Structure formats: C-alpha cells, structure tokens
Structure 1
Amino acid sequence: MADKTDLKKTLDAYQAKRDRFRIVDVPDLRYLMIDGHGDPNGSPAFTEAVEALYPVAYTLKFAGKRELGRDYVVMPLEGQWWAQDMAAFTTSRDKSRWDWTLLILVPDWTTPEMFAAAVEQVRAKGGPARLGDVRLETLSEGRCVQTLHVGPFDAEAATLARMHDEFIPAHGLRRTGRHHEIYLSDFRRVAPEKQRTILRQPVEQVEPVEPAKTSAGPD
C-alpha cells in the first residue's frame, strides 16, 4: 500500500500565509459540488448540503484504497460565494442574498464511474436528503490571488478590501471568477478566533506590470 496522499501539502495552490497576498496559478481540479442560497449560519439548506457531500467523499476514499491501492486524506470543505451585487458579500455582508457552491476536492484519479458508484452506495444506506444534488465537476480557476485569514468569517471584510482594492489593481489585475474559501479548520469544532481560511480570488491580467509574486507583510 502506498503512503497516504495529503493534497493540502502536495498542491501549491493550497499554500498560503497569513496577511500575505500571493499570485498563484491554480490547475484544473476535480471537486464534489453542491449548490445553495442564503445565510449559511444555522441554515438547514447549508447543513443538508454539507451532509450530502461528506458521505460521498469518504465512500470515494475507501473505494480508491480498496480498488486502486491509493489512499488519501479527505480534503476540507470549501465554498464559492457570490451575490448579484457583490457588495452584499464584501461590505454589507447581507447573507440572505448570498449564493454558494460547497466543494470537496478529490484526487484526479476519481472517475465519473467511481463517483456514480459511490453515490449509489451512499443511497443504499439511506443517503442524505440532498444526495441527488451532489455532482462531480472540474473547476478551472487559473490565475488567482490568495491569502490566509485567521479569525472569524465576519472579520474577513478588511482583508478582502485590501485584496480587491489594493493588491489586485496594483498588480495590473482585475477580478474575474467567484470568491473562493478553503476551510482549513473545522468551523464546527474550532473557536472562531482560531479558524484558518484560505481566501482566493480568480483574476486576469489587464495591465502589463512586473510585480513580485507576494506582498509585503509578515511571514
């Protein structure tokens, strides 16, 4: 049996430092995904979405170990967040207007056939209510700016303002895709002030500049 793979450690796109912005080229990656809308805090819809993702993720892990001899660490929950007016997300924080897609990264050897078999296994055990809404899809983000935020989710606004209004335009970039968060801490078990979250924003080059790839800030 090969060593257990931990994609958080082997993928460069999952490396970030606190209060330090970094430009990174994210490769195409394969995820389990499920969509939703509205305030995630105490929301049955959000809870049901999480409950649908994890059984499939763990079933895929065990199938890969059993059938392919390849073991890996199940990746943390991630989320893409957006709103028709993005100010509802970045400044006013009107969570009732948020749309979201929750994600769990899976290894690139995960095939549609493996995914379909995993869903059927979970369903046979009396699967969660939203199991049928889970899909396997490749996400293409390309060039992104990201940083590590430590603290409560509602304290992200200042960091996002620096990313969106200072770092991105200063490097001749503009935002293109959806705001992406990677929850390195389990927010059900970790105190808000200790939560570690990678904040990622897809971008494109609009002005020719030659910036350093990281911003000034503490290591």
Structure 2
Amino acid sequence: MTTSKIDLKKSLDSYRAPRGTFRIVDVPPLRYIMIDGHGDPNTSPAYASALEAIYPVAYAMKFASKRELGRDYVVPPLEGLWWAEDMSTFTTHRDKSRWNWTMMIMVPDWVGSDMVNAAVNQVKKKSSPARLGDVRLAELSEGLCVQTLHIGSFDDESAVLEQMHHNFIPDNALQLSGTHHEIYFSDPRKTGPEKLRTLLRQPVTPIEAATSVSFEE
C-alpha cells in the first residue's frame, strides 16, 4: 500500500490532448459513477441536483480508498456525455434546452462496486441529495476517438466541433460512432470563461467498419 496521491488524468494517455490540433487515440474501457438528465446545464434544476449528488459520492470514495486501502488519489475531473435528436444543436443552433446529458466522474480500477455502494450509503446518512438514488456505476467503452483541448468558453466550442466533425474526421476516413464527450479540467465557478480548459472527444470508427459504443452495467 502507498500513501502517495495518484492523479489519474496525468497518468492516463487518453486524458492528454493538444490545443489547436486533433489527436486520434484509443481510449480503454473505463468505469464511472454516472447520473443522467436533460436540459440546459446553465438553467436546469436537474443539472444542479445531479452535481449535488455525484460529487459527494466521488469524494466519499476517495477518502475510503485512502483510509481502507492506503491508496490516495486526486478526484478525477467532471465529465459529460452530450447528445440530442438533432445533433446540429451542438454545432450550429446551440439550443441547450434540447440537450440530453450524462454527467460522470471516473472511478479508479482498484475501487470496487462495494466501495461505491458504501460511499452512496455514507452520503445518504449525511445529506441525502435528492438525486442520490440515480447515481450508478457503469463502464464506458469508447475505443477509437478524436480529441482536442479547447481553451475558452463552452459556447465557443461550436467552431472546433464543426471542424472536427466535418473536416478532420471524414478527411481521415472516419465517421462519428458514439456520443460527444467533454472532460472539464477547469472549475467554471473559479475560472473565467476565456481560460476554461475542456477536452473535447468524439468516438469514431473507420468508414468501412462501423460499430457502436455501449455501456456495460
């Protein structure tokens, strides 16, 4: 056992992306605590209540890992899967009221489902957020992906995504095959919009061999 603190976003290659260029990566299957919702993240009560549920569980797991296993780690960044019936709402219209989302935080591979359940029960005893019962543990298998680092406001992502979806991906004989994925390296409550650091990821497949990603619970 060790008491050194592990930072997973620094040790996993799939959490690295350059700014100003697109990178093709093979993302391994990873486990997350997740919670689903719909609507504008800036105004939807469902989004706020989702974060109120998922963050305490993530920190309860971290402290349990350090206390019980002697393995301390930095709580990984918040991540989000985003989709809509009309995907142009991401790159053209930006109608956030039509967005569906899954907010999630990665779970280290040494943290078992029993420890996740114990963390949920611990949070329930202390504060019991309204959507705590909706938090679930699931594995996400994305495989081949295109990603880049975006620095700036969330609303400025559309030009980057337009270039990714309509230029880089088809120019490399690839096609979209999964859900738009964002990893938030900055806290918007503490960081100005122009300095926000967000990893933008899009699962893809070669055009001649299309497959789909799936969740395994």
TM above 0.5, yes or no, is yes
For the pair 1:165 / 2:170, whether they are aligned, the reply is no
More strand by share: 2
Q: Structure 2: where are the runs of 5+ without partners?
A: 210-217
Q: What is the number of equivalent residue pairs in this alignment? A: 208
Amino acid at match of 2:92: T
1:2 Cα offset (Å): 3.3
Instruction: Report the alpha carbon displacement of residue 54 of structure 1 after superposing the two structures with TM.
Output: 0.6
Query: Match of 1:6?
Result: 7
DSSP 3-state at the match of 2:72: coil
Give 1:63's aligned residue. 64
Equivalent residue runs for 1:29-44 within 5 Å = 29-44=30-45
Counterpart for residue 124 of structure 1: 125
Query: Which residue is equivalent to 1:198?
Result: 199
Question: Given that residues 20 and 148 in structure 2 are in contact (C-alpha distance below 8 angstroms), is that contact kept between their aligned partners in structure 1?
Answer: yes
Matched residue, 2:113 = 112
Tell me the distance in 1 between the aligned counterparts of 2:92 and 2:199. Answer: 18
Matching of residue 49 in structure 1 with residue 45 in structure 2 = no
Contact in 1 for aligned 2:149/2:197 (Cα 8 Å):
yes
Q: 2:24 — aligned with what? A: 23
Q: Take 1:108 and 1:89, find their aligned partners in 2: how far apart are those partners?
A: 32
1:194, distance to aligned residue in structure 2 (A): 0.3
Q: TM-score, normalised by structure 1?
A: 0.93
Gaps of 5+ in 1: 209-219
Q: CA deviation at 1:42?
A: 2.8
* TM-aligned CA deviation for residue 187 of structure 1: 1.1
Q: CA separation in 1, counterparts of 2:71 and 2:28?
A: 21
Separation in 1, partners of 2:122, 2:24: 40
**1:72-96 deviation digits (Å, cap 9, x = unpaired):** 0001111000001111122111111
Residues in 1 aligned to 2:22 and 2:39: alpha-carbon distance in whole angstroms: 28
Quote how far apart the aligned CAs of 1:190 are: 0.5
In the alignment, the residues of structure 1 paired with residue 127 and residue 71 of structure 2 have an alpha-carbon distance, to the nearest angstrom, of 27
Shift of 1:142: 0.5
Normalized against structure 2, the TM-score is what? 0.94
Quote the offset at 1:207 in angstroms: 4.8
Residues 121-174 of structure 1: CA deviation (Å, up to 9, x unaligned): 100112211000000111100000000000000001110011000100011100
Q: CA separation in 1, counterparts of 2:63 and 2:205? A: 38
| Helix, strand or coil at the partner of 1:85 | coil
Per-residue CA deviations over 1:166-192 (Å, capped at 9, x if unaligned) read 100011100000000000000111000
- Cα RMSD over matched residues? 1.1
